[in-house]
Chains A and B, each alone.
Chain A
C-alpha cells in the first residue's frame, strides 16, 4: 500500500476564487523520496499545508489518502500522531516554551494519542541527546524558547531535530535547505538520510539541485501554477538547474 496518494487535488484559499492547486496527482510509496521543485508561488507550500491540515484552504475536488485512510478527514494533531510531519519553510516562534519542553510535550502527546506509554525523563533525554549530536545542535540551544532568536539555519536544523525525535512515516520538508550554509546543508542532509528507511517516505520541496546531491531522490516533480507539469528521475533536477522553469511554465499556461 502506498503511504500517500493524491488524486486530482484542487485547492482554493477559503473565501477566494482563484485555485492555487489545480489538479495534483501524486503517489508516494514507502521508502521513496520525492523531490518537488517549481517557481515561487507555484503552490508548493500550499500543498504541504493541505497535507498537514492547515485551516484557510478549501478542497474543491479530489482526494488524499494516507496509508489507506482519508487524510482530509483527519484533524491536524491526528495526522501528526499518525505520522505526518511538516518541516516548515518558516518555523514559528513560541516565546517562553523551551525547545526541550516542546519536543517532549509533542512526543508524549503523539505517544498518548497512539495509546503508547509516555517516555520517562532519562529515556527521552537519551533520544534527544543522540539526535541533537547527529545534527550538531548544542544542548544549550534546546533550553531556549522554540525558534525565538534562532538564526535562519538554526531554525531549519531544529525542525529536522523535531522530525528525528518524532520519527514520522511521511516527512514533508518545505525548503529546508534555504538559509543553510554549506556545512549546515551537509549536516542536515545527513540527518535526513539517517531517517531514510524502507517504511518511511519523504517529500522534499526545494529550489536547488544542490540539496538533491546529498538527499538523492527517487522521483523529481516540477510544480507550476498548481499542477505537476513534469515528473522524472533525479536527472530532471539537473536539467532544471541548466534551463530553468521557463519551458515548463509555458507548457502549463
Chain B
C-alpha cells in the first residue's frame, strides 16, 4: 500500500475496471457455512484461544441472536443470509505469523501485486529512497519522510506476517495480530477489548464480537512515540467469506502512534460481507492518528457484486489532553455503513474526523461521525467531503453532542458535497445535541457541481475529461488529503482518479 508505484503496478494487472480484482489460487481452510454456537467454538478452537475468550464470543453470539438488523441508514440491499456465509477462512499453509522466508510465495506475490513490497520492506526498511523526489507533490512540499512503514497484512482471516517486529519491540511497542495478543498479552486484551465498542453495541459489532477472525493489536507504552507508521492491509480473497477483523489500539500516557489501514478485495459476483470493529483508547496526553484508504470492490456498473462494508470504529479519549484523529478515504464497497467516532471523555481532549467519500456507479455510502463531548473543554473538528457520481447515493450522517458536564465543548463541522452528473444523490444529516449552554457548535455545509467552465478550462490546457475531473475533485478534497500521511497522499490522489473513471461523458 505504502508504495508510490502501487497503483501503476496494479494497473498492469488490469482486471476490468477494478484494478485489484484478482484472486489468488491458494488452498484455504474454510469453516462450514452458517452461524451457530458450534461455529463460534470452531473459530475459537482454530485459534487455540483460552476459555475466557471463547466465553466472551459466546456471550456476544447469544446477544446477537436477540438483535435486529438496523435499517435506518440510507442504503438499500437484499437481506443478508447469514447461514450462507463462511465465517472463517484461512490460507491453509499459513496458520499464523512466521518469518518472511517461510511464507507461501504465492501469498507474497499477491501482496506484491497489491503493491506491498513486504520483502523489500524488510530488506530496505523503507518504501522509497531518501533522495527520490515525489512525483505528485506540489511546489514547496518537502519530499517524503523516512518512509518507514510496518505492515500487518491480513489475508482473509489470518494475519500472515508482521514486519518490523524487532525494531518495534526495542521501543516497547507491541504490534501483532489480535489472536496473538489474546495469547501473549491477555491482561491488556481483557482490560481493553470491548471497552470502547461493547459487545452489545450494535448488530454488526455484536456479530463481529462473536466471530471476529483476526485483526491487529497495538500497544504503545507510556511516553513512547512509535518509531514508524503502523499499517494493516486487508484483503478478502475467499468466496463467500465474511471478514470480521477486530482491531484494538491502546496509546498509554503521553504516547503517539499513526496507524494506516488499506483495504482491497477481488472481484466477485456475489456480495461479500465485511463487518469490522476498531477500538482506540488514548490515556492522558496520548494521541492516535488513524487513517484508512478503503478500496474494496464496489460491484460492477449494474450493481452486481461488491462488498458490504458495515464497520464500527470508535475511539475513546479516556485520558485528559488526549487526542484521536480519524482520516478516511472511502472509494470502494457496494455499501458503506461507517461512522468513526470519538468519545471525548478526558478533560481538554480533542477529536477529529476528516473524510473523503466517493461514490460512483451504484455505490451507496452512508458515513459520517459522532463526537460525544463528555469532559470539560473538549473540542472536535469534522471536515467531510462527499463526491457523488453515476447513479450513486452519498449520505453524510453526523452527531455532535455535549453532555451536561461538558462545559466549553466546541465543535466545528464542515460538510461539502460535490455532484458529478445529475443521476446521483447527496444528503447531509447532521444531528446536534447540546445539553450544556456553554457549548459552541458551528456547522457549515455546501453542495456544488463541477462547473462546465472549470472542465473547459482544464481541457483547454490539455487534460482529457477524466483527468480534468480527477484534478478538480482532488482540489475539492485537498483539505482532507493533507491530513493523510505522506505515504498515502500520492497514491490516494491517483485512486480518486481511478474511482471516478467513467463518471462523465
Residues of A at the B interface (CB closer than 8 Å) are 52-55, 75-77, 79-81, 85-86, 88, 91-98, 100-102, 105-107, 109-110, 113, 121-122, 125, 128, 139, 142-143, 145-146, 162, 166
Q: Contact between A122 and B471 (Cβ–Cβ < 8 Å)?
A: no
Q: Contact between B471 and A142 (Cβ–Cβ < 8 Å)?
A: no
From residue 455 to 478 of chain B, which have CB atoms closer than 8 A to chain A?
456-465, 467, 471-472, 474-478
Which of B139, B452, B457, B467 is close to A100, meaning CB atoms less than 8 Å apart?
Answer: B139
Q: Contact between A94 and B459 (Cβ–Cβ < 8 Å)?
A: no
Q: Contact between B133 and A121 (Cβ–Cβ < 8 Å)?
A: yes
Contacts A80-B459, A94-B471 given; 17 further ones with Cβ under 8 A? Answer: A53-B460, A55-B456, A75-B459, A76-B459, A77-B460, A80-B460, A92-B451, A92-B454, A92-B457, A94-B457, A94-B458, A95-B475, A97-B471, A101-B138, A102-B471, A107-B462, A109-B463
8 contacts between A and B (CB under 8 A): A53-B459, A93-B454, A94-B458, A94-B471, A96-B479, A106-B462, A109-B461, A162-B461
Interface size on B, residues (CB 8 A): 29
Give the 9 A-B CB pairs with smallest separation, nearest first: A96-B475, A97-B475, A96-B478, A106-B461, A110-B462, A100-B139, A92-B457, A80-B462, A76-B459
In the complex, whether B302 has a CB less than 8 A from a CB of chain A is no
Given contacts A55-B456, A109-B467, A121-B135, contact A94 B462 (CB under 8 A): no
A77 contacts which chain B residues (CB < 8 A)?
459-460, 462-465
Q: Contact between B139 and A81 (Cβ–Cβ < 8 Å)?
A: no
B458 contacts which chain A residues (CB < 8 A)?
94, 102, 106
A79 contacts which chain B residues (CB < 8 A)?
460
A223 to B344, CA, bound (A): 67
Q: Which residue of A lies closest to B451 (CB)?
A: A92
Q: Which residue of B lies closest to A93 (CB)?
A: B454
B454 contacts which chain A residues (CB < 8 A)?
92-94
In the complex, whether B140 has a CB less than 8 A from a CB of chain A is yes
- Which of B456, B461, B462 is the most central at the interface, judged by chain A CB atoms within 10 Å of its CB? B462
In the complex, whether B76 has a CB less than 8 A from a CB of chain A is no
B interface: dominant SS:
helix
- Which of B133, B140, B456, B477 is the most central at the interface, judged by chain A CB atoms within 10 Å of its CB? B456
From residue 464 to 499 of chain B, which have CB atoms closer than 8 A to chain A?
464-465, 467, 471-472, 474-479
Say how far B465's CB is from chain A's closest CB, in angstroms.
Answer: 8
Say how far B200's CB is from chain A's closest CB, in angstroms.
Answer: 42
Say how far B307's CB is from chain A's closest CB, in angstroms.
Answer: 29
Q: Contact between A166 and B462 (Cβ–Cβ < 8 Å)?
A: yes
Q: Which residue of A lies closest to B465 (CB)?
A: A77
Q: Contact between A105 and B471 (Cβ–Cβ < 8 Å)?
A: yes
B139 contacts which chain A residues (CB < 8 A)?
98, 100-101, 125, 128, 139, 142-143
CB-based A-B contact count at 8 angstroms: 96
Which of B140, B461, B467, B475 is close to A145, meaning CB atoms less than 8 Å apart?
Answer: B475
In the complex, whether B444 has a CB less than 8 A from a CB of chain A is no
A110 to B463, CA, bound (A): 7
A54 contacts which chain B residues (CB < 8 A)?
456
Q: Which residue of B lies closest to A142 (CB)?
A: B139
B464 contacts which chain A residues (CB < 8 A)?
75, 77, 109, 113
Which of B134, B451, B452, B462 is close to A109, meaning CB atoms less than 8 Å apart?
Answer: B462
In the complex, whether B38 has a CB less than 8 A from a CB of chain A is no
From residue 430 to 466 of chain B, which have CB atoms closer than 8 A to chain A?
451-454, 456-465
From residue 117 to 155 of chain B, which have CB atoms closer than 8 A to chain A?
133-135, 138-140
Q: Which residue of B lies closest to A165 (CB)?
A: B461
A interface: dominant SS:
helix
A12 to B309, CA, bound (A): 51
A248 to B477, CA, bound (A): 51
Say how far A122's CB is from chain B's closest CB, in angstroms.
Answer: 7
A81 contacts which chain B residues (CB < 8 A)?
462
A76 to B468, CA, bound (A): 12
A110 contacts which chain B residues (CB < 8 A)?
461-462
Q: Contact between B456 and A94 (Cβ–Cβ < 8 Å)?
A: no
Q: Contact between A97 and B472 (Cβ–Cβ < 8 Å)?
A: yes
A113 contacts which chain B residues (CB < 8 A)?
462, 464
Which of A86, A92, A106 is close to B463, meaning CB atoms less than 8 Å apart?
Answer: A106
A97 contacts which chain B residues (CB < 8 A)?
471-472, 474-475, 478
A128 to B462, CA, bound (A): 17
Q: Contact between A94 and B472 (Cβ–Cβ < 8 Å)?
A: yes
Which of B138, B453, B474 is close to A92, meaning CB atoms less than 8 Å apart?
Answer: B453
B475 contacts which chain A residues (CB < 8 A)?
94-97, 145-146
Say how far A133's CB is from chain B's closest CB, in angstroms.
Answer: 14
Q: Contact between B140 and A80 (Cβ–Cβ < 8 Å)?
A: no
Q: Contact between A166 and B461 (Cβ–Cβ < 8 Å)?
A: yes
A182 to B282, CA, bound (A): 60
Q: Contact between B140 and A143 (Cβ–Cβ < 8 Å)?
A: yes
Q: Which residue of B lies closest to A49 (CB)?
A: B456
A53 contacts which chain B residues (CB < 8 A)?
459-460
Q: Which residue of B lies closest to A125 (CB)?
A: B139
A198 to B172, CA, bound (A): 69
A121 to B464, CA, bound (A): 22
A107 to B458, CA, bound (A): 11
Q: Contact between B463 and A105 (Cβ–Cβ < 8 Å)?
A: yes
A113 to B467, CA, bound (A): 12
A143 contacts which chain B residues (CB < 8 A)?
138-140
Q: Which residue of B lies closest to A121 (CB)?
A: B133
Say how far A169's CB is from chain B's closest CB, in angstroms.
Answer: 13
Say how far A87's CB is from chain B's closest CB, in angstroms.
Answer: 10
Q: Contact between A96 and B476 (Cβ–Cβ < 8 Å)?
A: yes
Which of A76, A101, A128, A166 is close to B456, meaning CB atoms less than 8 Å apart?
Answer: A76
A100 contacts which chain B residues (CB < 8 A)?
138-139
A75 to B477, CA, bound (A): 28
A55 contacts which chain B residues (CB < 8 A)?
452, 456
Q: Which residue of B lies closest to A108 (CB)?
A: B462
A235 to B460, CA, bound (A): 33
Say how far A35's CB is from chain B's closest CB, in angstroms.
Answer: 21
A75 contacts which chain B residues (CB < 8 A)?
459, 464
Say how far B100's CB is from chain A's closest CB, in angstroms.
Answer: 33
Q: Which residue of B lies closest to A120 (CB)?
A: B133
A128 to B134, CA, bound (A): 17
A88 to B133, CA, bound (A): 33
Q: Which residue of A lies closest to B133 (CB)?
A: A121
- Which of A95, A105, A166 is the most central at the interface, judged by chain B CB atoms within 10 Å of its CB? A105
A146 to B138, CA, bound (A): 13
Given contacts A94-B454, A121-B135, A122-B133, contact A102 B474 (CB under 8 A): no
Say how far A111's CB is from chain B's closest CB, in angstroms.
Answer: 9
B140 contacts which chain A residues (CB < 8 A)?
139, 143
Q: Contact between A76 and B472 (Cβ–Cβ < 8 Å)?
A: no
A145 contacts which chain B residues (CB < 8 A)?
475
Q: Contact between B456 and A91 (Cβ–Cβ < 8 Å)?
A: no
Q: Which residue of B lies closest to A84 (CB)?
A: B460
A25 to B264, CA, bound (A): 57
